């Protein structure tokens, strides 16, 4: 006789059902992402993400105010260095707004990659003690940056009022642009997370990669300062199109649709490649971490 199931089992989640059969076999190279399993663990994703957010500002005097101070401070420093000292052109917009509209997605992106890259190694005890889809770890570390992103978006919207840069319908484009940035961050972050498990060298390398990437992206400078015949080179970097897209969204400029479509395609490719590699090697994590 089968053991009776008491009413307390969550219903509607066939993944956890009594009839569910788990087959464990040696890993066989590339495999497809198990969306069903990932979905069954969605609450873990939520819990880990909120844990990171909750813990981030615990036992700090200023608490969540840091989420406001940090981006503001970075913006002020960059404005002084690049705007006042280096006289970086800003296409006629106030430099702080010009800078901040790009710094906003970039800060999220760089923090997401840096924390995702370290996430699996940082969760070594978890990885060697319990099973769950490992992909949850880098995804949650990217996700926990979203709160800070919302805070800095609010700051930008207020700054736009202050500098009398009008809000336009272009703002709506920020949402799909952000989704693309998240996809690149997830793809690149999971890739780095997986590589860092085997080669800790990447713990040291990742900050450099992120830093160099920033200067290869028109964050502190406008794309127009790059000679036209070299611009395609910058467009190989998917963040170029997206950052320019953010500027158009916030400053109300026309969008470069060709550049954007390239960036979106590259974003999807990077996401797929990163996740595929992660899935290929994740079953070895517990043995080598």
Which residues in this chain contact another protein in the complex, by CB under 8 A?
1-4, 6, 8-10, 13, 16-27, 40-41, 43-44, 46-48, 51, 54-55, 58-59, 125-132, 198, 283-284, 286-287
Residue 40's closest CA among 131, 117, 128?
131
Residue 66's closest CA among 111, 17, 14?
111
Alpha carbons 186 and 94: distance in angstroms, whole number: 32
Q: Compare residues 59 and 92 and give the one whose CB is closer to another protein.
A: 59
Q: Compare residues 19 and 169 and give the one whose CB is closer to another protein.
A: 19
Residue 248's closest CA among 187, 173, 185, 149?
173
Alpha carbons 105 and 162: distance in angstroms, whole number: 20
Q: Compare residues 169 and 288 and give the one whose CB is closer to another protein.
A: 288
Dihedral sign, Cα of residue 214, residue 219, residue 222, residue 224: positive
In angstroms, give the least distance from the CB of 284 to another protein.
Answer: 8
Alpha helices in 132-200 (DSSP H): 136-143, 146-162, 174-198
Q: Compare residues 59 and 166 and give the one whose CB is closer to another protein.
A: 59
Alpha carbons 250 and 132: distance in angstroms, whole number: 40
In angstroms, give the least distance from the CB of 200 to another protein.
Answer: 12
Alpha carbons 130 and 85: distance in angstroms, whole number: 53
In angstroms, give the least distance from the CB of 31 to another protein.
Answer: 12
In angstroms, give the least distance from the CB of 47 to another protein.
Answer: 4
Which residues make Cβ contacts (< 8 Å) with residue 131, sequence separation at least 6? none
In angstroms, give the least distance from the CB of 83 to another protein.
Answer: 39
3-state secondary structure of 57: coil
Q: Compare residues 13 and 91 and give the one whose CB is closer to another protein.
A: 13
Q: Compare residues 155 and 276 and give the one whose CB is closer to another protein.
A: 276
In angstroms, give the least distance from the CB of 61 to another protein.
Answer: 15
């Amino acid at each position: 006789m089968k053991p009776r199931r008491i009413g307390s089992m969550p219903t509607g989640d066939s993944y956890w059902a009594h009839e569910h059969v788990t087959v464990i076999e040696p890993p066989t190279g590339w495999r497809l992402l198990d969306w069903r399993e990932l979905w069954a663990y969605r609450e873990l994703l939520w819990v880990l993400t909120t844990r990171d957010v909750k813990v981030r500002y615990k036992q700090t005097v200023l608490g969540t105010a840091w989420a406001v101070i940090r981006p503001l401070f970075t913006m002020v420093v960059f404005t002084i260095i690049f705007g006042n000292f280096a006289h970086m052109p800003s296409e006629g917009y106030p430099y702080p707004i010009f800078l901040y509209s790009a710094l906003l997605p970039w800060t999220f992106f760089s923090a997401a990659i840096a924390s995702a890259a370290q996430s699996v190694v940082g969760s070594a005890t978890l990885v060697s003690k319990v099973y769950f889809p490992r992909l949850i770890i880098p995804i949650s570390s990217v996700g926990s940056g979203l709160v800070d992103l919302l805070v800095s978006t609010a700051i930008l919207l207020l700054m736009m009022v202050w500098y009398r840069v009008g809000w336009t319908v272009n703002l709506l484009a920020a949402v799909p642009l952000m989704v693309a940035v998240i996809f690149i961050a997830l793809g690149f972050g999971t890739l780095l997370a997986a590589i860092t498990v085997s080669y800790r060298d990447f713990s040291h390398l990742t900050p450099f990669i992120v830093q160099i990437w920033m200067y290869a992206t028109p964050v502190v400078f406008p794309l127009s300062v790059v000679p036209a015949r070299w611009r395609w080179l910058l467009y190989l970097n998917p963040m170029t199109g997206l950052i320019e897209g953010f500027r158009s969204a916030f400053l109300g400029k026309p969008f470069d649709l060709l550049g954007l479509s390239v960036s979106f395609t590259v974003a999807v490719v990077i996401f797929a490649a990163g996740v595929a590699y992660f899935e290929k090697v994740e079953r070895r994590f517990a043995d080598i971490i």
